[in-house]
Amino acid sequence: MKMHNPPHPGEIIKALCLEPLGLSVTDAARALGVSRKTLSSILNRRAGISPEMAVRLSLAFDTTAESWLNQQVQYDLWHAERKRKTLRVRKLSAA
């Protein structure tokens, strides 16, 4: 089932992972083994969740990498679908 305007995974990380644990961006980035800038970009919706980051998050928060990637795909697809009518695509078929 498609979600209506799904949240960016960064919002989920911030609200459900960092805030309840009282973690700063710096502390969380250090625990994840990434730079503060990298994590901040995700939290502020300037970057998405890569497969490697999904694995890091799954290890840190005892979740699955697939769940993080699924959230990213839902977010990306929802935004792509909103542009559907502006895409200039021609249907292809066998001759």
Q: Give, rounded to a whole angstrom, the gap between the first and last alpha carbons of the chain.
A: 35
Q: Could you tell me the pLDDT band of residue 2, with boundaries at 50, 70 and 90? A: low
pLDDT on residue 10: 98
* 52 within a domain of the structure (yes/no): yes
| Residue 42 C-alpha from the chain's centroid | 7
Domain membership of residue 40 (yes or no) is: yes
**74, part of any domain:** yes
How does pLDDT run across 4-62, given as a tens digit for each residue?
A: 899 999 999 999 999 999 999 999 999 999 999 999 999 999 999 999 999 999 999 99
Single pTM value for the model? 0.88
In a domain? residue 2:
no
Give a yes or no: residue 58 inside a domain: yes
Give the per-residue pLDDT at 95.
77
* Angle value at C-alpha 29, between 25 and 62, nearest 5 degrees: 105
Q: Is residue 87 one of the residues assigned to a domain?
A: no
pLDDT of residue 3: 62
Q: What is the CATH number of the domain that holds 36?
A: 1.10.260.40
Cα–Cα distance measured from residue 67 to residue 90, given in angstroms and rounded to the nearest whole number: 34
Residue 60 lies in a domain: yes
Domain that holds residue 46: 9-80
Any domain includes 91: no
On whether the CB atoms of residues 56 and 76 are closer than 8 A, the answer is: no
Per the structure, how many domains does the chain have? 1
